[in-house]
Structure 1
Amino acid sequence: MSAHCQVTGRKPGFGRSVSHSHVRTGRRWNPNIQRKTYYLPGEGRRVTLTVSAKGIETIDRDGIEAVVARIRARGDKL
């Protein structure tokens, strides 16, 4: 599963870890990505989304129908 949110578009952040001796090594900060299944009452079916914790809050606030409409308006398939 890729670390990419279908609702908010969050992706991993990249940077450097700096040790006590000041040696720099590459690292990445992954968003909190989870697979969630939602029921679409308008279509009578379920959809499984890869969403971040912030994306789950967005769905709770706006509703699954509105969020799915936004995803489809972007041209992404569900």
Structure 2
Amino acid sequence: MTARCQVTGRAPGFGNTVSHSHKRTRRRWNPNIQTKTYYLPSEGRRVKLRVSAKGIKVIDRDGIEAVVAQMRRRGEKI
């Protein structure tokens, strides 16, 4: 699967690694993606989400119901 957060949409960043000799090679910075299970009381079921550390903080702040509603408005299937 891709390294993309389902809540915030964070994806890998790309750039260069610069060595001591100043030689540049391509690299990527992956977001801290984790699989978390949340309980949706309105539907009486659990959902598994691939979220970044920032996405977990957003869910803690806004609540899982609000975040799932926002994801569904974007057209994402849960």
CA RMSD of aligned residues (A): 0.5
Q: Identity percentage over the alignment?
A: 77
The amino acid that maps onto 1:47 is V
| TM-score normalised per structure 1 | 0.98
Tell me what 1:11 maps to: 11
2:7 alignment partner, SS class: coil
Q: For residues 29-40 of structure 1, what are the structure 2 equivalents within 5 Å?
A: 29-40=29-40
Report the count of equivalent residues. Answer: 78
Q: For residues 50-69 of structure 1, what are the structure 2 equivalents within 5 Å?
A: 50-69=50-69
Task: Give, in angstroms, the shift of residue 4 of structure 1.
Answer: 0.2
Task: Give, in angstroms, the shift of residue 35 of structure 1.
Answer: 0.3
Tell me what 1:27 maps to: 27
Q: What stretches of structure 1 of length at least 5 have no aligned partner?
A: none
Q: Distance in 2 between matches of 1:45 and 1:2?
A: 25
2:42 alignment partner, SS class: coil
| TM-score normalised per structure 2 | 0.98
Task: Give, in angstroms, the shift of residue 49 of structure 1.
Answer: 0.3
Task: Give, in angstroms, the shift of residue 38 of structure 1.
Answer: 0.2
Note if 1:41 corresponds to 2:46. Answer: no
Task: Give, in angstroms, the shift of residue 2 of structure 1.
Answer: 1.8
Q: Distance in 1 between matches of 2:9 and 2:61?
A: 17
